[in-house]
Structure 1
Amino acid sequence: MAQSRPAQSPRPLRRSRWRGPLVAGFCFGLGYGVTQRLLALQLPALVQLRQGFEVREFPGTSLESLRLRFGSDSKEIRGDLELMELEQQAKQREAKRKEEQRQQELDEQRRQTQLQAEEARSAEPAEPVQQAPLEPALPDPGPEPEGAPQAPALPSPGEP
């Protein structure tokens, strides 16, 4: 019994996948190195990186002309926010300190006034208080007429 083997085709050679990217990377690296060397030599004949036109003044009013027109003081135009915030905090602290000082002065004045009032009270001799004699609220009508009804008597607290 002979076993028949299927005819095997020769295996194709396996190509490496890393050779293509390696060659491309080598070419890019070589080009980058050559470019860096040419720029480092600064050969104006080979590489010209300068502007191909003349620089003209920007249209409009320049800062220098405004300074000449309105004053020669050169001040910083940009606002320094940190500096402004520090100044604002310093003003707030100063205002708070002044308010506390004013409050202390007011408290001191009140204390002085109270002390003066107490001294004035203690210096005066204590006079006895004279009470006015009590007067009846209603005038006495006099003797009641004989035929007038009498007011009922109020019960005493012990009686029911």
Structure 2
Amino acid sequence: MSIAVIPGSFDPVTYGHLDIIKRGAKVFDKVIVSVLINRNKSPIFTVEERMELLREVTQKMPNVEVDSFHGLLVDYMHTKGARAIIKGLRAVSDFEYEMQMASINRLLDQKIETFFMMTNNQFSFLSSSIVKEVAKYNADVSSLVPPIVEKALKQKFQEPRE
């Protein structure tokens, strides 16, 4: 069974993320979408909230599982029996960073391969950061994120912030 991991912060999951997840699920027997727990970041959604949103938007994809991890990606991959990492690329700037990550992962474990997928043109500008910035000002994000994520964003930005 071919198992791939799509790691990321998914804060929040966007249509760009979903595009990569759907396409990866067509290539691999099992795809694990895994939320990175990064204590150096201040996400607007908790890990549990991000995982639940991902479960909701991938529920019709039978070979997609949602999980979370912290620490080294290669260590996590070993626990899951995964041999492939899928990363979406929007622009050359993404490639430079992702190439560094792929190189270090390959140094740590030569059996793990990284597969890069170019995002569809309609999502080439899209990032979670942009979505949060637009949603913060109560602007329409319906073309950027699934309806459940749009609703969650509205609720987050209505809550008093510390």
State whether TM-score is above 0.5.
Answer: no
Q: TM-score, normalised by structure 2?
A: 0.14
Higher strand share: 2
Structure of greater Rg:
1
